[in-house]
Amino acid sequence: MAQQSRPHIILASLTLAGGSRYPSALGHLLRTAAVAAYLANVLELDDTEQRHIYLVAPVHDIGKLGIPDDVLLKPASLTDAEHEIMQRHSDIGADLLAGTPDPILQMAASVARHHHEHFDGSGYPAGLAGEDVPLAARIVAIADAFDAMLEPRVYRQAMPEHDALDALADRSGQYFDPTLVERFLNKVPEVRRVRAAAEGLIRRYGDVSGVIRFYGARDKSPAFLRHIQTL
């Protein structure tokens, strides 16, 4: 870690902090990031863009640090009022990351703020629509929703993969950018491998070493990102 530039250390630390906020959070953060980076690769974004998406995606939910336990950890569905509190995590996270000139942290703030926007403008917090939603946030939104559907919740079981894929297809153009959904749905076996590899990183090395390995020993191109790019 000593040779890393500052944004990497900040992002790795915040990923660990966010990942400790509730059980299974870290797995969600790293799987989501790995799938988002893979989708960026499928879209043939330039290398820097792909690398930045990979680095910032794990902190998309960092604002959950500021959500009270009785809402974040409530073992039941949320009331409307509690939903409103939960939705504040977008702005809390963005405010935490904003205000630096560093382009990686600026992208992290943008993804934290906009990963719950919908393509039709019905999302939050800004109600942005279409390509007004930053591309990195549109990418993370798909990876995030897909991973969340595959995870069990206290009020529902984990969704079978085919149901989660159907849900993405159903909400294409409504919640999600239809071009990105189409590219995602063409790569399901690869997405499955990427998720498993991210999961394996934590299972094999534990939370702290798993995150350090995710961010890589040097800042140029973490090994795990190179692995994703070869799928």
Point out which residues bind Fe ion (CB under 5 A). Answer: 61, 144
Within the chain, residue ranges assigned H as helices are: 6-19, 25-42, 47-56, 69-72, 80-87, 89-97, 103-114, 135-150, 161-170, 178-185, 188-215, 223-229
Whichever of 102 and 151 has its CB closer to Fe ion, that residue is 151
Minimum CB–partner distance for residue 230 and Fe ion (Å) = 26
Minimum CB–partner distance for residue 32 and Fe ion (Å) = 6
C-alpha–C-alpha distance, residues 208 and 164, integer Å: 30
Minimum CB–partner distance for residue 143 and Fe ion (Å) = 9
Tokens standing for residue 35? 């799938």
Minimum CB–partner distance for residue 144 and Fe ion (Å) = 4
Whichever of 4 and 110 has its CB closer to Fe ion, that residue is 110
Whichever of 117 and 144 has its CB closer to Fe ion, that residue is 144
Do 210 and 31 form a contact (C-beta atoms < 8 A)?
no
Whichever of 61 and 177 has its CB closer to Fe ion, that residue is 61
